[in-house]
Structure 1
């Protein structure tokens, strides 16, 4: 389809069902597809597996889906300052698969590139490779599921660990500009995980601040081949994750 524009943000997420997996772009509060997340909250799908660097903050972004009890599994890099994330993980309400940030980005990118797995040095000699990281606790705080050991292999005298790529049912991303073909331009650091998350999704939905008639090929950050739906949401404020003031 040449024109990938969806007029209604609710229509853009209407076919996401319970149990879906979703790759979500953004880092901290930057580049978060907050309007798509809000639309999914209203739509009501649950039992979700979310692949994202983190799960937002308390009261914003993915933190809202988390507070609603809609997320049952997280694949990401860190908990950060999200107290509800930590509480659900330690109380056995949420399964968590931790992966280094660079590895997470490459797992998503590889999924979109058709690469089933790759070797990396990140995590060699740790529980990430050896297994045993807590994935899920029970209500009593006991570990009931741990990560499995990963295959390792030596190349040129150095050890590497095998990481599998990630492919999700859907992907949510935020971009500054899009054309009708779904070509995207990201603004500054909002580029972060967004291109990789977009590549990982079987169906990728982009919320964009502006739709333009044409984007010069040299300015395209993500080709429209990876984008299935575009919905215009207007400007989005980033917010402040941690505010520090002087006495």
Structure 2
């Protein structure tokens, strides 16, 4: 065997086979930890965890969001769960497709047994929509949720609607008018959905307060809804997040790009 062929085989081993082996090992560890959490909590554990990942062999990072594939998998998992079995949904996401988030929220809202959403770091936008549909929200004391206001062409729907209130309609171009019409529909649709999933746990006045704050553009879309803000909105939540959730999150590491930006010593 020539040296060039040996080098080629080694390169192939380094870039293809070793990453595959590493992925199988870490997947096995994740499954083992999930089983451990299920045994400890007597529940069905489902994860919706989005991390920045490395694309193929070229090392290009890409960020994941809630999509239709996620909703299909979670709907399947919920459907396969016994009706009397509680569900623990571990949620770590920046949000994503509204349709997919609403499907997931509807599925966990309809599950007969209690559904708890566990949030170690953040569940923004569509993630918050899912969390509000659960029976209980358990989050780290420094974790955050986010507003659920619809976004149209990259702009908050509420802000697009405000254009018509501040300018004469004859001074507004057709494109903005169309977007404003879509924005109006999007806000109404989202508020109707929120009212549906909150109806069993909140009084009408409380629902109005939540929808006004979270869907009508009071905050920017990336505003951090901390535990204190959730308390002001009367959104019930707990901060006794099990240690096993943190241990599971360690098995979803961000891909390293050169030297790590955070270092600390473990004791």
Please say whether Structure 1 and Structure 2 have the same fold, judged by a TM-score greater than 0.5.
no
Bigger relative contact order (CA 8 A; separation at least 6) = 1
Normalising by structure 1, we get a TM-score of: 0.29
**Quick check: which has more Rg, 1 or 2?**
2
> Whose helix proportion is higher, 1 or 2?
2
Q: TM-score, normalised by structure 2?
A: 0.28
Q: Please identify which structure carries the higher strand content.
A: 1
